[in-house]
Amino acid sequence: MLSMREVTKTYRAELVETHALKGFSLEVEEGDFVAVTGPSGSGKTTFLNIAGLLESFDSGVYSLDGKNVTGLGDRELSKLRNEKIGFIFQSFNLIPDLNVFDNVDVPLRYRGFGAAERRKRIEEALEMVGLAGRPKHLPSQLSGGQQQRVGIARALAGSPRFLLADEPTGNLDSQMAEGVLELLQGINKAGTTIIMVTHDPELAARAKREVHLKDGQQQA
């Protein structure tokens, strides 16, 4: 479970203060699929960065999978992030000169898995996203939808408890977007908790529930 209670985050630049999150609270149960929506500047990206342990917060309490992350050091946060969280990015974030297999392999190497375990995880993840026949292709040889599927496979290979998706269909046409969304729904049905930031109301409607942010606060 993911639990945030009264989390605040303020950015300061010279004399300007921007209150990105103001006493934000959210509970996400295991197996949930939550869409986070809101206008630009509403705090969606800040929330996702804090949820993914990529950014600190000023006050409040955040517990991830039963562990209070408040006050943890960088090493502990990194370990928790690598073990519990998978990320899907709008821009795919693939390494252009690595093939599909090696792109999925990168975070597994960082986790210290042995070669045989990595190969098993990569092959299973590529099978799950429908790319088992393309392990040697470079990103430039794939469509946008296929590149996003590689990004999803890379996230899944680490067996995350939580999948955080930042505008996962933002760079895709409607047909490709539909395929990626169906894949995410299937992953969710298999038990992975998903939190997805999106501007697309149709996409948000396909999640199990929607959380709307405005001015750093959740709207009723």
CATH number at residue 186: 3.40.50.300
- The answer as to whether 150 is a domain residue is yes
Q: Which long-range contacts (CB under 8 A, 24 or more apart) does 104-109 make?
A: 104/150, 104/153, 104/154, 104/157, 105/157, 106/154, 107/82, 107/154, 107/157, 107/158, 108/157, 108/158
% pLDDT > 90, the chain: 81
Q: How many CB atoms lie within 10 A of CB 70?
A: 13
Helix axes 100-111, 74-84, angle to 10 degrees: 130
- Per-residue pLDDT band for 15 (boundaries 50, 70, 90) equals confident
- The answer as to whether 136 is a domain residue is yes
50 has pLDDT over 80: yes
Strand arrangement of the beta sheet that strand 67-68 belongs to: 16-28, 2-13, 59-64, 67-68
- The answer as to whether 65 is a domain residue is no
Q: Report strand pairing: 193-197 vs 162-166.
A: parallel
- Per-residue pLDDT band for 130 (boundaries 50, 70, 90) equals very high
Q: Which domain holds residue 84?
A: 29-59+73-219
Contact 48, 37 (CB under 8 A): no
Number of domains into which the chain is organized: 1
* pLDDT at res. 220: 63
- The answer as to whether 13 is a domain residue is no
- The answer as to whether 66 is a domain residue is no
CB-based contacts of 182, cutoff 8 Å, min separation 6: none
- The answer as to whether 116 is a domain residue is yes
> Which of these ranges, 95-99, 131-135, 139-143, 200-204, has the smallest mean pLDDT?
200-204
- The answer as to whether 95 is a domain residue is yes
- The answer as to whether 118 is a domain residue is yes
